[in-house]
Each structure stands twice: as structure tokens, then as C-alpha cells.
Amino acid sequence: MIKVGVIGATGYAGSELVRLLMSHPQVEIQGLTSQRYIGKNFYEVYANFRQIQDAVCKEEDIEAMADECDVVFMALPHGVAAKKVTKEILEKTKVIDFGADFRLKDPLVYEKWYGLEHGGPSLLTEAVYGLCEINREKIKKARLIANPGCYTTCSILSLLPLVAEGLVDKKTIIVDAKSGVSGAGRGLDTGTLFCECNESIKAYKIAAHRHTPEIEEQLSYAGQEDVVISFTPHLTPMNRGILATCYASLLPNVTRAQVEKAYQKWYGEEYFIRLFPEGVFPETRWVKGSNFVDIGFTIDERTNRIVVIGAIDNLVKGAAGQAVQNMNLLFGLEEQTGLCMPPIFPG
């Protein structure tokens, strides 16, 4: 059994992780921590766990948890993990970080976009970007995993075959993405109150969203040259889900058959990526509660642009499910272990 600890278990992503771990046949949960609910049973915070998970939420002590656990999940705000994870910790346990602290290789880029001085730059070279479909072999050997962001997971996977196979003009990429409100976390914020979100949709952090450099960095690796994109996120009045509509200009004479071949090459054997047939496009309702990524595309011959649509559940493949997928790779398990549930509908 893999002994696991969850730091930050009472946020939305943390609670989703607990849900997935409890159905995992090779996992034993050693400890759950929380800042706001120390001393409370987990089911007192999330009543859906009543008579299922009665662990008491403890105060965070990463040193003690590292001694007890084979892997520690850190579901904490950006800027925290980098100050807590050390080489000494990594000698005792593996760490999967949900935040952005170890996703970007250049600490100056991190500081520019997050407005924080990086707390652990010495670990950036060791950290592995945990997008399993792309970095599977590196993940297997890692001690520190940077679990990708939700917008980034959907955007990168939707676009990567086009960039990697040189089918599009890399200067023309636009990502228009929509997210459910749970992506903003469980903290109190006027912008995510019911009356502020319901019956409305809004763009936010226009040309300034923190996931932009993460998408650019990974696409640049795939395309072997710097990729700069336009990325606009939107908040939609639903609990879960991300839909990314991605645009790019095709290079001259690129055909649909070539595009289909590229997606099959990269994802044809990927369990969690479902490629849609021509004329059928993803919707967030068909991935809710699952670790699947749905991808479909069309070519606008009038403008010579390709339009790729990707959909994920932001709390599963965009956070907790991807973390479990990473854990499975770290410990030599089948990648789908504990993640084979179909999407829920209606939800």
C-alpha cells in the first residue's frame, strides 16, 4: 500500500483528491491537514464523506508527514510549497504540488507573473512537469512533481500535436477558455459569489493570466522554438469544467488528414484522451467527475484556420485526477488505477 498525506485537504481540489484516493485500491491515507478546520472531522467540512471518511484534520507539519508517507500531495496556494519543500524532505518522500511554484523553469518568469519571489529556486531543475501524456518517462523517475494547472492542461493537450508536428503558424495561436467557478477555489471572494456569477459570463485577467507562461513554455518545448499565445479566460456560472476553444492558422497545404494523423500519433494510445470524429465537439458535461480529456477540431477553409476544442473537469484532470495519475506513474502502477470512473451525468 502507498501511504499518502494530503496538505490542504479541505479546499475543492484537496477534497476531490481525498475522494479519488479513497477509491484507490493501493492507497492508505495517513493524514489530512487544514488551516481553517484543525481538529474537525473531515466529514464535518464535507458532509458527503459522512460515515466514509472520519479522519481529523490536523495542523500542517510537512516534516512529520514526510517521515510517515511515501508521497505527500500539497494542495496549497501559490508561493507556499516552494518555502516548505526542501531536498531533505525529498530524501524522505515524494511530493506532488498542486500549485505553480515548480511549473516554470525560470524563477524570473515566475516572479513576473505571480508577483512573488521564488522560495525554492534550487529545486526547479529537479521538478518534473506532471503532464502525464507528455512527460511520462520523466515522471516515473521523479521525486518532485509540478502538477499542471487546469487551464494549461486543457490548452496544452488540445494544441500540442499541431505545434509538435509543425502544422500551424506558431505566432497565430489564440486560446479562448471558460471555467467553472470551482476553479477559483473555496476562499471568499466577491467575484465568485452566487449573485456575481449566476446568469452571467465574464472575461478576466485579460492578457495577464498566470497560466499563460505555463502554456507557452510547454508548447515551446514541443515546437522547439519560442511560442507566444493570446490567452483569455472566462468565468462561467457552472460548478465544474473547462472548455478551451483554440485557434491557429494552418501552414500552407496542410490537410485534415495530416491533422488527424498528428492527433492519432500523439494520443491514439492514450486512455484518458478521447478524440472526437469529424463534426462532433466536446462539452464539459461529458467529462464531469472524470479524468478524461475530450478533443475535437474543425478546419475553417475560408480563413485557413483550425479550431480545436478541448474539455476537462478542472477538479479532476485539471487537478486531483492528474495528481493521482502522476502518483500511479511514480509507484509503477497502471496509470488508470483508481481513475476508471466514467463521467457523471447529469451532474
Residues identified as active-site: 150
SS3 content of the chain, % helix, strand, coil (to 5): 35, 20, 45
The Cα–Cα gap between 259 and 171 comes to: 18
SS3 56: strand
Q: How far apart are CA 16 and CA 291, in angstroms?
A: 12
- Look at residue 220 and give its three-state secondary structure: helix
| Region at 185 (left for phi over 0; alpha for psi -120 to 50; beta for the rest) | left
Phi then psi for residue 239, to 5 deg, are: -75, -50
What is the distance between the alpha carbons of residues 279 and 276, in angstroms, rounded to a whole number?
8
HSE-CB at 150 with a 13 A cutoff on CA atoms is 28
283 CB neighbour count, 10 Å cutoff: 14
Count of beta carbons in the 10 Å neighbourhood of residue 193: 11
The torsion of the CA quartet 72, 75, 81, 84, rounded to 10 degrees, works out to: -50
Which amino acid is located at 205 in the chain?
K
Using an 8 Å Cβ cutoff, are 223 and 262 in contact?
A: no
Angle at 243 between CA 316 and CA 180, to 5 degrees: 65
Helix (H) or strand (E) holding 13: helix 12-22
Main-chain dihedrals φ then ψ at residue 293, nearest 5 degrees: -120, 120
Residues linked to residue 233 through DSSP beta bridges, in sequence order: 177
